[in-house]
Amino acid sequence: MKKIEGFRCVTCAAECGLTATKYVCPRCSGNLSVVYDYKALRRSISRRSLKADPERSIWRYLPILPLNGRTGTPPVHVGWTPLYRVRKLGAALGLKNLYLKDDGRNPSASFKDRASAVVAARALETGEKTVAGASTGNAAASLACMMADRAAKPVIFVPRTAPAAKLAQLLIYGAVVFSVDGTYDQAFDLCRQACDEFGWYNRNTGYNPFTREGKKTCAFELCEQLGWKVPGFVFVSVGDGNIISGLWKGFTDFHALGLIDKLPRMIAVQAEGSAAIALALKNDGPIRPVEGRTVADSISVSLPRDGAAAVAAIKGSKGFAVTVSDRDILAAIPALAQGANVFAEPAGAAAYAGLAKCAKAGKVREDDSAVIVVTGSGLKDVASAMKVAGRPHEVGTTMSSVRSLVAREKIS
């Protein structure tokens, strides 16, 4: 593939060819980043070419994706999700320029569709038959969705704690599902072992370098949707670290192509009970495993599988990490719904909880531009939302009972 020069290790910076390895660095087993021939790509992608392209999905960025064409791309519409300017939500925090990117609008209702679409297309293009992956739920559901119409169904490893709604998606799409009696991290390792033994293609986050390539498309969209004005801050919830590293890869790709002239600060929002990356940044040391407990199952990770790339993205962008409590995360769900009309799952709401904490501390100021990325729909985890949703008013079957309640509750 002429547009790709090869891989570069995010840990040791060693470089190798595209065919030298399938997943990780041959030297140190670190995760890999795809390196493009940016000089050549400048001839095939520009602001003008993008403006003229009627395609409104991640495939408008095909020239800078690791695919030869659209032959193996899934038939569903992935990406080009809405970006809203959320004035009410911003006013509550004293911010004039707040935006929300709603990636819960993807086909399987999560950001992970971006990665799974690229991996699924790549697998078909390179002749892989069975694709497997481990997930807390969203990545698995997205892979199942992207491959639902294929003869060879994906094999999915999920922890027993995966929410019922996410399991339902997997099974409805026809995936082969292994419910692992353990944590996400144990499911991740078991999936890797199974892929090694049975020759399956591994979609695992970070471990497969092309997951980051799919996720970077969100950054491309933000640049275009904001009229090529790069935001000052991008807030995103972080578990494995692959989304924040993917977003950063997108911004740096566009910067290398001369499409943008500055870069945003990447802000990692982690749950207090699952904050391995935040702790590594705070201590300026290596990423060490934590227990990984939080209501936000999508970011409940003991050992971040793309942690090194996430830390590099945060440091490289002069960003930082912020931790939020489960109470803050749950409170952010109705705050987002009632302030921005978006129903987010706990991990998606965490980004707003982090922004709110930073705004109150003066780290984000009135005139700063900021984007919060909502990574999944609240329909993914209704049980968590119900903890803070309150209860419906109960009435009888007569208008008198309605009148009594309206008067008592002062409903107007």
- pLDDT for residue 151: 85
The helix, strand and coil proportions of the chain, stated in percent and rounded to the nearest 5, come to 45, 15, 40
- The answer to the question of residue 273 being in a domain is yes
Burial class (CB in 10 A: 0-12, 13-18, 19+), 348: buried
Arithmetic mean of pLDDT, 172-187:
94
For residue 330, the one-letter residue type is: L
Q: Is residue 311 part of a domain?
A: yes
Tell me the sheet residues that pair with 84: 100
- Give dist(CA 148, CA 125) in Å, integer: 17
Query: pTM for the whole thing?
Result: 0.96
CATH number of domain containing 307: 3.40.50.1100
Which tokens hold the place of 179? 């419910």
Does 128 map to a domain? no
Instruction: Give the integer Cα–Cα distance in Å for 154 and 201.
Output: 9
Which stretches of 132-183 are DSSP H helices? 138-146, 164-172
> For tokens 């960003």, what's the residue?
319
One-letter amino acid at 134 equals A
pLDDT bin (cut points 50, 70, 90) of residue 249 is: very high
Q: CB under 8 Å to 173, separation ≥6 — which residues?
A: 141, 144, 145, 147, 148
Instruction: Look at strands 233-237 and 265-271 and give their pairing.
Output: parallel
What residues make up the domain containing 300? 83-110+211-389
Q: Is residue 292 part of a domain?
A: yes
- Residue 38 domain flag: no
List pLDDT tens digits, range 83-98: 999 999 999 999 999 9
- State the pLDDT at residue 292: 87
**Residue 184 phi, psi (nearest 5):** -60, -40
Do the domain assignments include residue 58? no
**Lookup result for tokens 């936000």:** 296
Report yes or no on 396 lying in a domain.
no
Percent of the chain having pLDDT more than 90? 92
Q: Is residue 71 part of a domain?
A: no
Number of domains forming the structure of the chain: 1
Of 399, 161, 408, 195, which Cα lies nearest the Cα of 292? 161
Where residue 412 falls among pLDDT bands split at 50, 70, 90?
confident
